[in-house]
Amino acid sequence: MQEFIPQFLKEMLLEQYGEDLTSQIINGYHEKRLVTLRINTIKATKEKICEKLKKAGIHFKIVTWYKDALIIENAREEEIKKLEMYDNGEIYLQSLSSMIPPIILEPKAGENILDMAAAPGGKTTQIAAMTNNRAMITACEKNKIRAERLKYNLQKQGVGCTNIMIEDARKLSDFFSFDKILLDSPCSGSGTDNVKNKDFSKELIERSTKIQEELLRKALKLLKKGNEMIYSTCSILKQENENILKKVITKSNAEIIPIGNIDGIPLLPVTIKGTICVCPTNEYEGFFVAKIRKL
Q: Which residue in the list 187, 234, 277, 279 is annotated as catalytic?
A: 234
The DSSP result for 86-135, as a single string, is: HHTTSEEE--HHHHHHHHHH---TT-EEEETT-TT-HHHHHHHHHTTT-S
The answer to whether 161 is a known catalytic residue is no
| Cis peptide bond prior to 120, omega within 30° of 0 | yes
Q: In terms of Cα–Cα distance, which of 292, 176, 189 is closest to 236?
A: 189
- Distance set, CA 234 to CA 49, 109, 182, 202 (Å): 28, 27, 14, 16
Q: In terms of Cα–Cα distance, which of 39, 130, 95, 27 is closest to 265?
A: 95
Q: What is the 8-class DSSP label of residue 213?
A: H
- Distance set, CA 92 to CA 75, 114, 188, 210 (Å): 15, 21, 24, 31
Rounded Cα–Cα distance for residues 287 and 33 (Å): 14
Catalytic positions are 234
